[in-house]
């Protein structure tokens, strides 16, 4: 009896990506725009209690804030699922970042060019952890558009760190950011395996 050869189905893989950045840069929006499931959000109303604790000057219309994390899921291929974890932006919740980043292959650090100074701490965090990250410049309505090389220089990014534009509200734009960080994380992994093999 002859049997035709069959190819074994590839085992499905899942991976974790962290979406980080300062307060109000669009992390929750990005997770929500790209997730194929209704995202889990842990948002609370911004109240008078946050006066003097959170700096709301740059985002005066922001009515809610993430107090633990955002969670979403995106299937990139039949055998590749991305789990997305958005970090809280306010410093008083940064103690959760270590737990949220555990097991992640990479991170997207979202920045607002009107508030670049708020980007340095998240960038320093991922550099110190050795976690591959890309920088995504979120396109806000009514803000000046800077050349990406200018933004990279202002942030003192190492030349190997990718920097892209993203519109957190647009699903395809957000998806491209996720593809880019996945590619970069795989490149970094390949490079480290090559170094270790020599």
pLDDT digits 0-9 by tens, 117-145: 999 999 999 999 999 999 999 988 877 88
How do residues 159-182 score in pLDDT, each as one tens digit? 999 999 999 999 999 999 999 999
Q: Which residues of 105-141 are buried (b: 16+ CB within 10 A; e: fewer)?
A: bbbbbbbbbebeebbeebbebbeeeebbbbbbbbbbe
pLDDT, tens digit (0-9, with 9 covering 90-100), for 37-91: 987 766 555 455 445 554 555 554 544 555 457 899 999 888 889 999 998 866 6
Q: For 13-46+57-197, CATH number?
A: 3.40.50.300
Q: Tell me the sheet residues that pair with 106.
A: 17
User: Domain residues of the chain, as ranges?
Assistant: 13-46+57-197
What is the model's pTM? 0.80
| pLDDT surpassing 70 at residue 113 | yes
């Amino acid at each position: 009896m002859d049997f035709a050869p069959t190819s074994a189905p590839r085992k499905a893989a899942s991976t974790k990506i962290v979406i980080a950045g300062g307060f109000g840069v669009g992390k929750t929006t990005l997770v929500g725009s790209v997730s194929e499931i209704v995202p889990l959000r842990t948002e609370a109303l911004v109240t008078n209690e946050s006066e003097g604790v959170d700096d709301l000057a740059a985002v005066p219309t922001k009515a809610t804030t993430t107090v633990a994390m955002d969670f979403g899921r995106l299937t990139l291929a039949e055998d590749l699922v991305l789990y997305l974890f958005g970090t809280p932006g306010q410093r008083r919740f940064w103690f959760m970042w270590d737990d949220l980043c555990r097991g992640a292959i990479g991170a997207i650090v979202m920045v607002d060019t009107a508030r670049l100074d708020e980007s340095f701490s998240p960038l320093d965090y991922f550099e110190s952890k050795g976690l591959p990250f890309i920088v995504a410049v979120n396109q806000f309505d009514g803000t000046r558009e800077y050349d990406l090389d200018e933004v990279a220089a202002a942030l003192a990014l190492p030349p190997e760190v990718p920097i892209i534009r993203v519109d957190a509200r647009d699903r395809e734009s957000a998806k491209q950011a996720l593809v880019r960080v996945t590619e970069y994380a795989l490149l970094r992994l390949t490079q480290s395996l090559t170094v270790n093999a020599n």
